[in-house]
Amino acid sequence: MDHAEVLLIGGRAGVGKTTVGWEVSARLRAAQVAHAVIDGDYTGAVHPAPAGDTHRAGITERNLAAVWGNYAELGYRRLVYTNTVSVLDEAAPMFRQAMGDGVRLVRVLLTATDETVEQRLTGRELGSELEHELRGSARKARLLDERAPTDVLRVVTDGRPVIGIAAEVVAATGWVTGVTGVTGGAGAAIGPASTAG
């Protein structure tokens, strides 16, 4: 394979993006599929925002390009990338810029109800950010529901084992032969103790 491919896992805060991303990586490792993982939340984690880059999109793109450049130089061609809005059309140019015009985008939007997300975030956010996270998560859920393109695979995470969710996500990539999107199987449901979404 000479072109890059990226699995974009998006969704509101508390939906399970990070947890699912790492389980996807575990499945790919088990199948001996070479790949890299980047949690996009960290590529723009600076304060204050750089001058002229209020939403930190510029620094995020620069960091993605730098890190992906290192991976690509070592021969990696597949990336698992988690970030809330990564599945939206306006994010696509960033990946084309960083990974090449021919990059194949596989977009998966994880969804969960407000009740599920509140339970997960309450278990995860132990500091002063809980109320801010809850409001932001609800706002992003509406935005993603309205603006996610029709070709984005939507995967419900409420009450489902992370293993089943990851199986469905991996199947969407086509990176592992013989994998179906059949869900189920053993494993813990994504919950307060296991979610880093």
The CATH architecture of the domain made up of 5-173 is 3-Layer(aba) Sandwich (3.40)
Six token digits for residue 17: 């993006």
pLDDT at 174 over 50: yes
Mean pLDDT estimate for the chain: 91
Length of the chain: 197
Check residues 101 and 124 and name the one with the higher pLDDT. 101
Instruction: Read off the pLDDT of residues 104-125 as tens digits, 9 standing for 90 and up.
Output: 999 999 999 999 999 999 988 7
Place 13 in a pLDDT band, splitting at 50, 70 and 90.
very high
pTM of the entire predicted model: 0.89
For residues 170 and 163, is the Cβ–Cβ distance under 8 A?
Answer: no
